[in-house]
Amino acid sequence: MKKILLAWSVMIFAITSLNAQQKQSLLTPSQGSDVKPIIINYPSTDVIKNQHSKTRGGSVFLSYLDFVAVQENITAANISLNSSLNFMFPDSSVRFNPPNLAYGISFKSIGQVLDPKAPVFTNNMPAGTIVFTNTNAYTLDSVFVLGSYAKLSNAVDTLIISVLQSAGNNLPEYYYSNQSTNWGVDTTRFLAMFYTPSNFNVGPYQVNATGGSAPLIIKHVLTNSDSSNHQIGSNQYFTKYLGFSTNSFSVPAGEKVSVSFTFKPGFTYSAGDSIGKNNHYLFMSTQPNGSNTFMPYYPGDFNQSTIITKDSSNGYSGFYIPSLAFTAPYQTEMHNIIFKVSCPTCNPLCNYALSVPNYLCATGAANTYNAISNVIADTGCPWTANVTSGGTWLTSTSTGVGNGSISITVQANTTGSSRTGTILVGSQTLSIIQPSQPIGIVEVEQENSFTLYPNPSNDMVMINIKKEWIGSTFNITNLEGKIVIHGNISSTSMPIDIRHLAQGKYLVQIAGLPSIKKLIKN
């Protein structure tokens, strides 16, 4: 495992209010009211919305910032207060001059890694939206980046987008020097996005690793329609999403995808020139928990925002820098990037419930029991009754789409004690309890008698009685005469659950019968 050293700084141009996305932006980014000095122009509500067809396959829009905000209950107001616009430019000699200040350009390019199967997405998806697993291949259909482009001259500028998937040697896993490799504890691992340092001042963008598939490169010529029309030093900055088709870029099952954005101007600067003199591009970035605070951390989650700084000799030469706050004073940054992904084999996130969570078999004999519990499922949601324990004696072939029922087949239980198996439907568990079959054939020869088996027992006991006594009441009492179980006889072989009773001796009596049986609880 290679090691590299974290060393970078983040320049914030202007931390101001903006019309940030609400929790409902999981479905549709909120248009809302304009809040100065930054005005957000979201994509059309007809464009940015997730499908809720509750059928297999479909498309979904994923913004990591959105889902982190929902996971951490970060308010729209806090996102607004902790967002900023930052200049992206390939020439580090240029200066920009907001009122009374002069800074060098800090950022050359930005990137984002997407892992759509991360729990932060699947745990916060509304029911009916498709979710991703390691077995699902998918396509990246389009990307949207939030920023502010100012077209102040006739120069022809280009925004370069590169898209790369992690199969082969692309996006290898790295960790920071002077840190342990204990993933899940030190939070220092990331996926490395590469660029070619020799192209640094030309316009860096992602390149594939040796042996990895090549990236998709998109060169978008920026026009007046892309411009947010802001002026440098103004008190008002207009921002908008720029969206780009990625031509259904294929990503194999279990792999991640990364995207980078690089602004390539159609003009040159002289050293010391102000950036406000010509066209420029600023990208939106957010520290969701506030300035100089730690990034929300989820074990195994490789979703991350990245940057390339103006200084290529800081130990990251050839790498996009993960803009995460692992240790103070490094600031947390999340770019506002939306991915539209499609998956023909992904199943929808569905809600399931069971009408009966526990089922007690009538006897220990081999048998088939039909419709023992109803499955209540969202319309169009598929389900399978998966036996998760007891598979040597318990089987079920029940499947369905939407509502249905579960049937089971059990083998004879000759173990001498009851046994329990489990069936899983979605996240719902159905417990199957089967009493033990008596040793030999138990017959009731006396008209006014009944038998208990197994006896002694530690969990289940069967009352075996003639059918004319069905409907009679029975009592189980302790030796002090206190009734501990009371009920009605419902069958000639009726199971009774005694797991909750303390160890000891008990008396069993059925109304109308003179005989009293002694029961021993182990």
pLDDT score of 249: 96
pLDDT score of 361: 86
- How many other C-beta atoms are found inside a 10 Å radius of the C-beta of residue 28? 19
Pick 231 or 437 by higher pLDDT.
Answer: 437
pLDDT of 158 > 90? The answer is yes
H or E element, residue 146: strand 138-150
pLDDT of 17 > 70? The answer is no
pLDDT of 324 > 80? The answer is no
pLDDT by residue (tens digit) across 252-308? 999 999 999 999 999 887 766 666 678 888 888 887 777 666 566 676 788 889 888
pLDDT score of 394: 95
d(CA 235, CA 39): 11
pLDDT score of 115: 95
pLDDT score of 201: 66
CA dihedral 221, 226, 232, 235 (to 10 degrees): -170
Secondary structure class of 480 (helix, strand, coil): coil
Q: pLDDT tier at 27 (50, 70, 90 boundaries)? A: very low
Cβ partners under 8 Å of residue 482, min gap 6: none
d(CA 512, CA 469): 9
Q: pLDDT tier at 29 (50, 70, 90 boundaries)? A: very low
pLDDT score of 442: 41
Pick 229 or 239 by higher pLDDT.
Answer: 239
Backbone angles phi, psi at 521, to 5 degrees: -100, 120
pLDDT score of 432: 92
pLDDT score of 284: 85
What domains sit in the chain, N to C, each tagged with a CATH number?
A: 3-343 (no CATH), 352-434 (2.60.40.10), 451-521 (2.60.40.10)
What global pTM score does this model have?
0.63
pLDDT score of 234: 56
Q: Mean pLDDT, to the nearest integer, of 198-225? A: 86
| Residue type for position 87 | F
Q: pLDDT tier at 1 (50, 70, 90 boundaries)? A: very low
Q: Mean pLDDT, to the nearest integer, of 186-199? A: 77
Secondary structure class of 226 (helix, strand, coil): helix
The region of weakest confidence among 24-38, 101-115, 380-394 is 24-38
**232, 33 Cβ separation under 8 angstroms:** no
pLDDT score of 406: 95
Token pair belonging to 422:
């489990």
DSSP class per residue in 390-459? -TTTEE---EEESSEEEEEEE----SSS-EEEEEEETTEEEEEEEPPPPSS-----STT--EEESSSBSS
pLDDT score of 485: 92
Strand partners, 420: 433
pLDDT score of 183: 44
Return the ∠ at Cα 235 (arms to 230 and 240), rounded to 5°.
40
pLDDT by residue (tens digit) across 355-406? 988 888 888 889 999 999 999 987 767 788 999 999 899 999 999 988 999 9
pLDDT score of 259: 97
Secondary structure class of 476 (helix, strand, coil): strand
Tally of residues, the chain? 522
d(CA 370, CA 394): 13
Q: Mean pLDDT, to the nearest integer, of 153-170? A: 93
pLDDT score of 326: 44
d(CA 371, CA 393): 18
Pick 246 or 417 by higher pLDDT.
Answer: 246
3-state secondary structure 198-222: HHCCCCCCEECCCCCCCCEEEEEEC
Token pair belonging to 224:
């007046």
pLDDT of 435 > 50? The answer is yes
pLDDT by residue (tens digit) across 48-103? 445 555 567 888 889 998 888 888 888 877 877 788 788 888 766 666 555 445 55
| DSSP, res 294 | P
H or E element, residue 461: strand 460-464
pLDDT score of 368: 92
Nearest to 103 by CA among 284, 246, 272, 228: 272
pLDDT score of 107: 82
| DSSP, res 355 | S
Q: Which long-range contacts (CB under 8 A, 24 or more apart) does 308-312 make?
A: 308/107, 308/108, 308/109, 308/110, 308/195, 308/200, 308/204, 309/8, 309/9, 309/106, 309/107, 309/108, 310/92, 310/104, 310/105, 310/106, 310/107, 310/108, 311/92, 312/197, 312/200
% the chain with pLDDT above 70: 73
pLDDT score of 399: 92
pLDDT of 25 > 50? The answer is no
pLDDT score of 39: 36
pLDDT of 18 > 60? The answer is no
pLDDT score of 68: 84
Backbone angles phi, psi at 69, to 5 degrees: -60, -40
Q: pLDDT tier at 309 (50, 70, 90 boundaries)? A: confident
DSSP class per residue in 49-114? ------SS-EEEEEEHHHHHHHHTT--HHHHHHTEEEEEE-S-TT-EE--TT--EE--EEEEEEEE
Q: What sign does the CA torsion over 121, 124, 127, 129 have? A: negative
Cβ partners under 8 Å of residue 73, min gap 6: none
pLDDT score of 30: 27
**208, 322 Cβ separation under 8 angstroms:** no
DSSP class per residue in 334-353? EE-EEEEEEESSPPBP--EE
